[in-house]
Amino acid sequence: MEIFHCLLHINLLLISSLFVVAAASDPYSEALLSLKSELIDDFNSLDDWLVPSVHGKNPSGGEVYACSWSGVTCNKNNTVVVGLNLSMKDLAGVLSGKQLGVFNELVDLNLSHNSFSGHLPVEIFNLTNLRSLDISRNNFSGHFPDGLLSGLKNLVVLDAFSNSFSGPLPVEASQLGNLKVFNLAGSYFSGPIPSQYGSFQSLEFIHLAGNFLDGEIPPELGKLKTVTHMEIGYNSYQGSIPWQLGNMSEVRYLDIAGANLSGSIPKQLSNLTKLESLFLFRNQFTGTVPGELSTIRGLKSLDLSDNQLSGPIPESFSELKNLRLLSLMYNEMSGTVPESLAQLPSLEILFIWNNYFNGSLPQNLGKNSKIRWVDVSTNNFIGRIPPDICSGGVLFKLILFSNNFTGSLSPSISNCSSLVRLRLEDNSFSGEIPLQFRQLPEITYIDLSSNKFTGGIPTDMSQAPNLQYFNVSNNPELGGTIPAQTWSMPLLQNFSASSSNITGNLPPFKSCKSISVIELHKNDLSGSVPESISNCKALERIDLASNKLVGSIPEKLASLPALSVLDLSLNNLSGPLPAKFGNDSRLVLLNVSFNDISGSIPSGKALKLMGTSAYVGNPRLCGAPLKPCPDSVAMFGSKGTGKLILVLLLCGGVLIFIAAALLGIFFFRRASKGQWKMVSFPGLPQFTANDIMKSFNSIDSMEAVPSQSASVCKTVLPTGITVSVKKIEWGAKRMGIMSEFITRMGNARHKNLVRLLGFCYNKHLAYLLYDYLPNGNLSEKNRMKRDWQAKYKTVIGIARGLCFLHHDCYPAIPHGDLKSSNIVFDENMEPHLAEFGFKYLIQLANGSVPAAIARKQSGEFNNAIREELCMDIYDFGEIVLEVLTNGRLTNAGSSIQNKPRDVVLREMYMDNEVGGDPANSLQEEIKLVLDVALLCTKTNPSDRPSMEDALKLLSGLKPLRK
């Protein structure tokens, strides 16, 4: 009892002393300490916000304790707080605003780059001396306080960029006579831009982009005579650009991109004589490019891409001597490129891909300027590459694919040491490949495929230390051999030289740490597959089909940890199939057909799934799915075997007769729908249309008949393979473009994607055949108790599959419908993405994506699907939240952004039964995964990481920006 009284006495003394300290401190320090108590400060950024003990030295002359604290600025006498800067301190929480009443003299308030949430405290608008208010990059929500802004008469800067405000834009902001910077971009503001915004008196910077604004752009904005910077794009306006915007005489930067605008580009914009940057891309503008824009002599950047503009490039653009960027890509422009364009002394970037330009490129292009990036792909250009295109010494990307260029490559390219990316595929270039690789130290990507090159692959290819991708496929007269040091290149990942008449042996794989794809089919290669291929631990795909290879298949080839595709068909290989292939669950495609392979096919589900077409043409090969091996058929002795064969023949004859009758009835009934055709993807079982139709008419093999568009069923094909079937209806006019897209889907091969095996179609509908994975989907698994490692494996697998679709498929394929029920599991509980690309396929069928647009592909990226890719990333973030919370949080991407991070983490530690010890490594992993989910579900698509960066973050790596 005495000990208890002693402890109580000590506690009372401590409480008393704390009260004395608080009482002794000044009102500013008291208010800031009160504010600190409201904040979540996980990183102790405000550790120095402390009042000295009562025994310490008190401030004299009314000085404020807080003047020495981080982020606090006082007047010269340290008696009044005039500035509070909490920017980038990793703070969070909801601000009450009750402490702000004492800061009557506050001039600057900066809360930016934190995670504050909730409504913006109205008390801020009582700080009438404020000149700068910066609350950007937080999660403040609700309507922007209405009717209070007008009290901040001295305000010069109002920056609320990247929050979650909603409702209409504050009209009374236009009454702030001193306001120069007005930034409300990146929230959820809706409704039209108030016409009153044309009455700002001193405004220089206005940024309203990235909201949900609609209506027409008010012509009153043309009265803004002091504005130098205007960004109002990335909204959904109606109508066209008001011609009155041409009256903003001081504007230097004008961005109205991605704004759903239509009509023609007003000629009056040429009155903006001080304009340096004009961005009107991703709208629906029609008509020609106004030649009058050439009167804006100071123009440096002009981007009119991704519209419906037509006609030629104006000749008068030769007057734009300061122009650095000209982007007209993804339009419907035509004609020749003016030779005078090559005279522009400042031109650095020329983007005109995906148009209908013809003729030759200006022959002096690059001679008079330091041009850095040229992309003229997917046009109708002819002639040669301009000889001086690299004479400026800074050209790093030259993209010319899908044109009709001819002749040999310019010597200027051969010595272009600055080149990083060179894409010349799908042209008619000829002659030897003159690239001097030792003079290309920065080159990472070279694609010379589908041309007419001769003379073989340059022998010094291995002297390009940064080369990652090399493709010379479909050059039928190229010839030559594979350079000896090819596989030893330190960064080479993809080597493709199919259909190029390559001869000789495969070089030894002495050191091949990075190579992941080797494509050499349809050549004249001889010799054996080197045993040293076992050194290629990163190898995922190797295609050596249609050559003259001999010898046996190396046993160690089956042990490569990443190998998923192996095609050795149409060679002269002999010996057995390596037994380890039977245990390889990673293998999604194996084809050894038409060789001299002997023995039995190793047991294993993966090899059976390949179907007979993967093994046919090997007379001495047996075992499922081929004929049984001799040792397994001695059922009745020699006499019994003869009887058995006779019975089987009779039964077979009866079955054939019945099948023929059924097929006759079936095709008679379906004759109105046209002839059925079948497409099986290379290396997979060669199903026929008859196989599919038989299975659909077998009661025993069908679990559900697809009766409506996009329905699903499971069926067993005559080969014994169980497949999932999706049905989609199409019109004859859409059949071509849809078949092209289905083929792209079928060629997408990754261990975290459900394989599309093929499709059966006629003029009215198609059946898509997928691998059947019977181990359930993520929606079901989320309701079951799973350990953290299983969850982490699931998240990583989903990320890898999505990253492959976004970054390894060209053009990128958006999933379009990423949700937990579309993630299925194989026997090893590896997740596979199902139904990828199907949403886009339905849009093609419905005609909501015009065929002409669907066929257009960008030079470096397909703009038509960029928004879908961003949505995929958001959906991925939501799925991660579902996994983290055992399905408790669904569709929670936006709401969770407003919750304090520490609260969310505590809940997720409980969901995953992780203890409270901060040193627990699982806590760190959960934090990492949560952070990725929060990034992926950011409100603004531009704030979200790419899937490539998300995967690197999940793997504990820092993202590498390109």
DSSP 3-state assignment of 357?
A: strand
Q: How far apart are CA 847 and CA 675, in angstroms?
A: 24
| DSSP secondary structure code for residue 137 in this structure | S
Q: Does the annotation count 771 as an active-site position?
A: no
Q: How far apart are CA 897 and CA 274, in angstroms?
A: 41
Helices (H), 364-446: 411-414
| DSSP secondary structure code for residue 551 in this structure | S
DSSP 3-state assignment of 873?
A: helix
DSSP 3-state assignment of 806?
A: helix
Largest CA distance in the chain: 120
Residue tagged active-site, from 159, 375, 771, 817: 817
Q: How far apart are CA 112 and CA 287, in angstroms?
A: 43
Q: How far apart are CA 316 and CA 339, in angstroms?
A: 11
Tell me the helix, strand and coil percentages in the chain, rounded to 5.
Answer: 30, 20, 50
Question: Is the separation of the CB atoms in 859 and 351 below 8 Å?
Answer: yes
Count of CB atoms situated within 10 Å of the CB of 616: 16
Q: What are the start-end ranges of the E strands in 561-625? A: 565-567, 574-575, 589-591, 596-597, 599-600, 621-622
Tokens linked to 955: 């793997």
Q: How far apart are CA 359 and CA 334, in angstroms?
A: 10
Backbone angles phi, psi at 902, to 5 degrees: -65, -35
- Residue indicated by tokens 């006019």: 733
Q: How far apart are CA 367 and CA 907, in angstroms?
A: 63
Question: Is the separation of the CB atoms in 913 and 772 below 8 Å?
Answer: no
Q: What are the Cα distances from residue 456, in Å, to 141, 459, 472, 478, 508?
A: 63, 8, 10, 5, 19
- Residue indicated by tokens 């008449």: 501
Question: Is the separation of the CB atoms in 165 and 173 below 8 Å?
Answer: no
The residues that bridge with 191 in the sheet, in sequence order, are 213
Q: What are the start-end ranges of the E strands in 801-864? A: 823-825, 831-833
Tokens linked to 181: 């910077």
Count of CB atoms situated within 10 Å of the CB of 7: 10
Residue 150 backbone class (left: φ over 0; alpha: ψ -120 to 50; beta: rest): alpha
Count of CB atoms situated within 10 Å of the CB of 848: 9
Query: How does 260-288 read in b/e, with b if 16+ C-beta sit within 10 Å?
Result: ebbeebbebbbbbeebbbbbbbbbebbee
Q: What is the dihedral of CA 248, 249, 251, 254, to 10 degrees?
A: 50
Question: Is the separation of the CB atoms in 515 and 468 below 8 Å?
Answer: no
- Residue indicated by tokens 């050795």: 568
DSSP 3-state assignment of 231?
A: strand
- For 690-749, the three-class secondary structure string (H helix, E strand, C coil) is HHHHHHHCCCCCECCCCCCCCCEEEEECCCCCEEEEEEEECCHHHHHHHHHHHHHHHCCC
Backbone angles phi, psi at 746, to 5 degrees: -70, -30
Between CA 605 and CA 610, with CA 609 as vertex, the angle to 5 degrees is 125
Q: How far apart are CA 410 and CA 408, in angstroms?
A: 6
Element (DSSP H or E) covering residue 781: helix 778-781
| DSSP secondary structure code for residue 335 in this structure | E
- Catalytic machinery residues: 817
